[in-house]
A and B are shown apart, each in its own frame.
Chain A
Amino acid sequence: IPHLSSFSLGPGAGQDVGRSCILVSIAGKNVMLDCGMHMGYNDDRRFPDFSYITQNGRLTDFLDCVIISHFHLDHCGALPYFSEMVGYDGPIYMTHPTKAICPILLEDYRKITVDKKGETNFFTSQMIKDCMKKVVAVHLHQTVQVDEELEIKAYYAGHVLGAAMFQIKVGCESVVYTGDYNMTPDRHLGAAWIDKCRPDLLISESTYATTIRDSKRCRERDFLKKVHETVERGGKVLIPVFALGRAQELCILLETFWERMNLKAPIYFSTGLTEKANHYYKLFITWTNQKIRKTFVQRNMFEFKHIKAFDRAYADNPGPMVVFATPGMLHAGQSLQIFRKWAGNEKNMVIMPGYCVQGTVGHKILSGQRKLEMEGRQILEVKMQVEYMSFSAHADAKGIMQLIRQAEPRNVLLVHGEAKKMEFLKQKIEQEFHVNCYMPANGETTTIFTNPCIPVDISLGLLKRETAIGLLPDAKKPKLMHGTLIMKDNSFRLVSPEQALKELGLAEHQLRFTCRVHIQDPRKEHETGLRVYNHLKAILKDYSVQHLPDGSITVESILIQATAHSEDQGTKVLLVSWTYQDEELGSYLTSLLKKGLPQSTA
């Protein structure tokens, strides 16, 4: 029975890097994956359109669970809005670190939008708290039973602390959602890993669908060398970062380098968010990479020896220093303040560790602008060195392919990327793995057909009896078995025919096939019988062929009788009769006999 399972793509994501929100229907269960927001919009478009999910009726009734892959706002930013303002009371699943860090980010985001920009009709602090109460935290590789049929399991994804890939399974149908992941380890996190779970569908991000990246080491080395040289010269280094993720990676990188090289220049990171986040990194040491986990016994790597909290007054201190300051694009706040102070000195350096949106100071200086117009018609001349270093924690094209190879899915669906780039990757995936690949647009629904396997209980007796026939069971080849399938009370059972009869209270009927084969043979009946017997005996060496005293022949349980034709004495009629169970042998025998007997050599 072909079974239909549809995976529909929900209100967000698709061919867009912005907000992630995917709706999956699998074997009657509805799961929402991620609940992200778009940072680029300030109006309604910022949140996914949840009316898409269900026009009438409550979301809680429709959705079985919500899964959040990691704490970036484009994956969890709309969560309080969704649960508190739109209204959802079902379970929300995320990993422990995500659960810990997510509210900090949400609160920070809320402060910026409400307190600074003065927007109303936004979720409140209380709403964030209420929302977090609905969250169920999961461990890596822990199978969580959402309800009787639906189960989910988290796998390590790298990317940021606590990022996870989720396997969603109903019966024998399963989907894996990767969220954002990273296949190459970095200084503080390991690489994503998944077992050969062979899901029906793999939903993968594809931010870098057309990129194969160079080794990370060169970039790290360049970064360290630049910082080192500047510090040795007595210059100051400013690294604008966002509070979480890259900031910690760079901190670890510099910390270990300072330790290794015995450097003395101070390193600072801006207080507030980063400090709080570092606290969680310290706690969730098991989620970090091998090196940090191994050295943890001696020392927690996140308890920085060389990196101290920054104070505004330090910016004017003489001598070299390195400062991590937020935000990352130099558009406001502390990083911009420090930048203005230091920009005039050519000994100093600013390192942009990520992409900058157009219009920000970061973008301007990266594109080579040396004179910046600041507020109040001030002209700021940038004499300090400007460097660009890309540290991205997404899987590149090779990484995506590697994950597909590991998981061996039957279908792949690409999200979170640009359409043109995804097209290339889709083609590659289909070509290399011979699986279907989909790349739905925003709001588009993709339906995937699966061949679900239906588990059937079999009695041990029957299994043993059937496996005893023939050779060893071979794992790779399907095996033919005889039995009776009973479908009763929503369960399937395979039992022996006798037991089925007994259970159903039916009497056994025997089904016999009879077939007549005409043979030209002028001899007597019993002689013909003897000839047939000899013939069969010669051919069927492995079977027991017997000649009974009444002239009939048995091959196993098949009966053959030779009689003379009533009209034509030269033709003998062979009556072949077999039971339904011996159908195979019976039909073989008839076809054998139809070919005629060999000319007697006697």
Chain B
Amino acid sequence: RISQQQHEDLSAKKLRLAKPSKSAALHVDLCKAASPADALQHLLHFARRPVEAESVEGVVRILLEHYYKENDASVRLKIASLLGLLSKTAGFSPDCIMDDAINTLQNEKSHQVLAQLLDTLLVIGTKLTENPPVRMRLVEVACKHLTDSSHGVRNKCLQLIGCLGPVEKGVAKEAESQSAKDVQKIIGDHFSDQDPRVRTAAIKAMLQLHERGLKLHQAIYCQACKLLADDYEQVRSAAVQLIWVLSQLYPESIVPIPSSNEEIRLVDDAFGKICHMVSDGSWVVRVQAAKLLGSMQQVSSHFLEQTLDKKLMSDLRRKRTAHERAKELYSSGEFSSGRKWGDDAPKEEIDTGAVNLIESGACGAFVHGLEDEMYEVRIAAVEALCMLAQSSPSFAEKCLDFLVDMFNDEIEEVRLQSIHTMRKISNNITLREDQLDTVLAVLEDSSRDIREALHELLCCTNVSTKEGIHLALVELLKNLTKYPTDRESIWKCLKFLGSRHPTLVLPLVPELLSTHPFFDTPEPDMDDPAYIAVLVLIFNAAKSCPTMPALFSDHTFRHYAYLRDSLSHLVPPLRLPGRKLVSSPVSPSITPNEDPCQQFLHQSLERVYNLQHLDPQGVQELLEFTIRDLQRLGELQSELAGMADFTATYLQCQLLLIKALQEKLWNVAAPLYLKQNALASAAAKQILEETYKMEFMYSGVEGRQVVIIHHMRLQAKALQLIVTARTTRGAEPLFGMCEKFLQEVDSFQRCFISELPHMQGSFVDKLLDLMPRLVTSKPSEVVKILQTTLRQSTFLHLPLPEQLHRATATIIEPTGESDNPLRFTSGLVVALDVDATLEHVQDPQGTVKVQVLYPDGQAQLIHPKPADFRNPGPGRHRLITQVYLSHTAWTEPCQIEVRLLLAYNSNRSKAAKIPKSTWSDSMEALPPSENGIEGTIPFSKPVKVYIMPKPARR
């Protein structure tokens, strides 16, 4: 009893130093604890709450005090772990408790507690990395405990040495010259520890040192090589990493080959060894090895090429691989008959002595890796192949056959990965016909991902013969008939195929267009997607092949004109001899490299901006025309669509604003004209909506545009304010609105202060001049001032950014064509597969939502999982998700609408977006709420789905 009293006194003293409450409470709790289990409970409870940085030290002292008194190992363990946790507290510097922590190690008998204490020291050490003596001391402590008999303790010691060991040699010498401990040596000694966990920890510690910038000794290489034959997979896995690190450090050193006098470069040797691990017994090691192979670019080419070589034999006679046979057949100009049995009969005899069955070298590593049982290994091998092929064109050529083989893997992910790989290395290679054949066979794959990837691949593939082009075209057309939804992608693919191989397409033209030298052939159907596909190929080839148009027949030219207009992104402008040039006449003043469309866009904008002083009627008309022009331009020129739409929207806002201000309502006594004000307030509302679209639906919007958009929004809000002022009686509600508006003007000024000089004569510029007056005046006066400023202000020039794209989405599935309703029992859910492509959506995971509208007006908003989004190419995303529908029973099948929404949050800045965390939530209406914090923009066409919830049968 007495001793307890004393402790309380002691802690009371400390309370003056630290914050009271917690440490005191803990102390009392711990003293009261009757049993170890009780104490443990208290500690656990204590650990749940954070401790302030100032009181950490006091708490630590109390804990330590109990630590020494405690007999139960588990409680000591918990205290030790708490010490570590406490030292992590931000703002607390643990050097004051380090000595105490080290002292606790002295008399500790339990291995578990020891390990935990070392862990705590590690935490302390990592917080005090700036303090070399402290680190040295901790490392020394760790070294002392390395002889412990428990693997856990040795493990932690090695970890500690790895994390805190001196990296700079000079400093180490100075600080501890007498012991001159070489951490590498100490860790290296534990490579042969009896416990595999310690061996792993030793290798990991070594890797840690490397990561921290210590140059590892080359001598470790031999040790590491021995570890490759370890019995335990985690050791081997770590050893492979270590070997890789060393091979990157000393690629050019020479190492002897055991059992011979020869010597080879270290990187080659390491490469061979890692290749060997690709056929390891554990798949974890195999994945690791296969992955690392990819980054060993310094390896000599003959070693590299060996990885694809597996000498085949049959009954001791050399046999050619199927790849070699295919190549030979190709070069001899024959097609594979494949009919003879024994077509692959082995040829020459093999010298039995020369055959090496388990090679130490790299032989066949990739052949094994690509054939592996686990798809993880295969993917890793494909990735490695890709990386190596990118750096070595000759290797790329050689690995082609293997990659092509992978197109038939049983797992889609692997197929996809190999197609992507092939695309990445495609500038290094030219496909042979037989390879192309295999590649094209995959076009029939039922997975859209695969087909699209393949189209992308074909876009950048080099084909060597005209037969190859023909084959590709035929297969693509087959694909088109089988999967009509691939239309766009196939056309695009043919566009590139044509423009890459004009000379190969040339001899095919008469056949493709089925023209005949003497007879007129019937004119093909212009709406046939297959015919369009052929034309796209030909026109793109014709662009760089001026002789080609001579082969066209009359209707081809007409079709050209039509396609050039309707599919301008796929059909390039051609100079057709003896014909009226279809492309717009080029005026000499325009620089030839500038696109006429771009020119048009700028010209029309210029016109609008110059016209601000004309009478309102004229301005309105001009705006209307320009908007119409821009919209049409956007439809024609897909690459300018974003730009054109963006400006059109802006002009539309302007137009609305002008129209609203033209209203007669302003001249008449307010309450009498409730009808007219509907138009003005609707305009204000629409402008607000449009500004949100402008801000959040386009990718590539820069700060300058954002200012203009916000400015437009401010004007719309002013308009709203004026309209409300005119239509409501009494100043009460107005008061709040004015206040709010002024706040917004203020925040606008704060946000865009740097942009203000560019906004001479604008609404906000004038407003800011009048600000002192506004703040003091009554609401009615404010409204009056606003009204005049709004009318007088000039409208701002909208600068265009380099690249501007509108986010678009197309729902591929459901197609909305099915007449069979989706039946399910009411009250239960039914899953609807939704498949959509998204273009130019930034951060789709955070913003894209699916909306389901039921016939009764009920709306449901679903936030798809992040994993449902795939990224097949830059700027493109694909959403494949399941939407769960449910409803009460209906009597008839009815259509629901599914569409995609883009969620935005007007508070978030462009840089830091905070995605909404809720998975799904229901909302009634779409338009942004009055305070405009959050909202959604529909950006896909709605698709109708027939559903039929049936009442549950009892």
Binding site for B on A (CB under 8 A): 184-185, 187, 190-191, 193-196, 210-222, 224-226, 228, 256, 259-262, 289-291, 352, 366-368, 385-388, 397-398, 401-402, 405-406, 421, 424, 427-428, 432, 472-476
Which B441-470 residues have C-beta < 8 A from chain A?
Answer: 441, 444-447
Q: Which residue of chain A lies nearest to B357 when distances are taken between CB atoms in the complex?
A: A401
User: Is the beta-carbon distance between A432 and B357 smaller than 8 angstroms?
Assistant: yes
Interfacial chain A residues near B447, Cβ < 8 Å = 260
What B residues does A225 contact at CB under 8 A?
441
Contact partner, A472, options B147, B313, B342, Cβ 8 Å:
B147
B412 → chain A closest CB, angstroms: 8
Q: Tell me, yes or no, whether B231 is within 8 Å of chain A by CB.
A: yes
- A210 in contact with B357 (CB, 8 Å): no
B186 interface contact, C-beta 8 A = no
Contacts of B409 in A (CB 8 A): 217
Nearest CB in chain A to that of B446: its residue: A262
- Cβ contacts B889-927/A at 8 Å (1 or 0 each): 000000000000000000000000000000000000000
Task: Say yes or no: B373 contacts A190, CB within 8 Å.
Answer: yes
Interface centre among A195, A215, A289, A401 (most CB of B within 10 A): A215
A408 to chain B, nearest CB (A): 9
Known contacts A262-B444, A472-B147; A421/B315 CB under 8 A: yes
Instruction: Known A184-B371, A212-B313; judge A221-B408 contact (CB<8 A).
Output: yes
Residue of A nearest to B313 (CB): A212
A224 x B147 contact (CB < 8 A)? no
Q: Specify which of B192, B311, B438, B446 is in contact with A260 (CB 8 Å cutoff).
A: B446
- State whether A473 and B405 are in contact (beta carbons under 8 Å apart), knowing that A210-B315, A218-B322, A256-B410 are contacts in the complex: no
> Are the CB atoms of B323 and A218 closer together than 8 Å?
yes
Contacts of A473 in B (CB 8 A): 194
Range for the number of chain B residues in contact with chain A: 35 or more
A261 contacts B375, CB within 8 Å? no
Find the B residue at minimum CB distance from A188: B410
The reply to whether B194 and A193 form a contact with Cβ atoms under 8 Å apart is no
Is A291 touching B339 in the complex (CB atoms < 8 A)? no
Contacts of A261 in B (CB 8 A): 444-446
Contacts of B410 in A (CB 8 A): 187, 256, 291
5 contacts across the A-B interface (CB closer than 8 A): A185-B371, A215-B402, A218-B322, A428-B357, A474-B192
Q: Which interface residue of B364, B372, B410 has the most chain A CB atoms within 10 A?
A: B410
Let me know if A402 and B279 touch, CB within 8 A.
Answer: yes
B338 touches A226 (CB 8 A): yes
Cβ of B323 and Cβ of A260 under 8 Å apart?
no
Interface string of B219-257 (1 = CB under 8 A from A): 000000000000100000000000000000000000000
Q: With the chains together, A415 CA to B447 CA distance in Å?
A: 46
CB contacts under 8 Å to A, within B330-385, are 338-342, 352, 355, 357-358, 364, 367, 370-375
Residue from the list A187, A290, A401 in contact with B358, Cβ < 8 A: A401
Task: Give chain B nearest CB distance to A216 CB in angstroms.
Answer: 7
Q: How far does the Cβ of A210 sit from chain B's closest Cβ, in whole Å?
A: 5
* Interchain CA distance A368-B337 in the complex, whole Å: 14
Question: Nearest Cβ distance between residue B707 and chain A, in whole angstroms?
Answer: 52
Report Cα–Cα, A385/B339, bound state, in Å: 7
With A222-B322, A261-B446, A475-B192 in contact, is A388–B313 under 8 Å at CB?
A: no
Chain B residues with CB under 8 Å of A216's CB are 371
Q: Nearest Cβ distance between residue A535 and chain B, in whole angstroms?
A: 31
Query: Does B358 contact A221, Cβ atoms closer than 8 Å?
Result: no
The residues of A that contact B194 with a CB separation of less than 8 Å are 473-475
- Closest partner residue, chain A, to B231 (CB atom): A196
> Is the C-beta of B310 less than 8 angstroms from some C-beta in chain A?
yes
Is B577 an interface position by the 8 A CB rule?
Answer: no
Contacting pair B444 A211 (CB below 8 A): no
Is B865's beta carbon under 8 Å from chain A?
Answer: no
Decide: B375 and A291 in contact? CB cutoff 8 A.
yes
Q: Which residue of B lies closest to A404 (CB)?
A: B358
Closest residue on chain B to residue A217 by CB atoms: B405
Chain A residues whose CB sits within 8 angstroms of the CB of B313 once the complex forms:
210-212, 397
Expressed in whole angstroms, the Cα–Cα distance for A26 and B409 within the complex equals 44
- Complex Cα–Cα for A385 and B338 (A): 10
Which residues on A sit within 8 Å (CB–CB) of B231?
A: 196
Contact indicator B375/A290 (Cβ below 8 Å): yes
Residue on B with the closest CB to A208?
A: B314
Decide if B367 touches A215 in the complex (CB within 8 Å): yes
C-alpha spacing A193/B233, complex, angstroms: 14
Residues of B within 8 A of A405 (CB): 358
Per-residue 0/1 for B298-326: is the Cβ within 8 Å of any A Cβ (1 yes, 0 no)?
Answer: 00000000000011111110010111000
Q: Which of A185, A218, A476 contacts B372 (CB 8 A)?
A: A185
B193 contacts A214, CB within 8 Å? no
* Shortest beta-carbon distance from A198 to chain B in Å: 9
- The residue of chain A having its C-beta at the shortest distance from the C-beta of B412 within the complex is A260
B405 touches A406 (CB 8 A): no
Q: Are B405 and A196 in contact (CB under 8 A)?
A: no
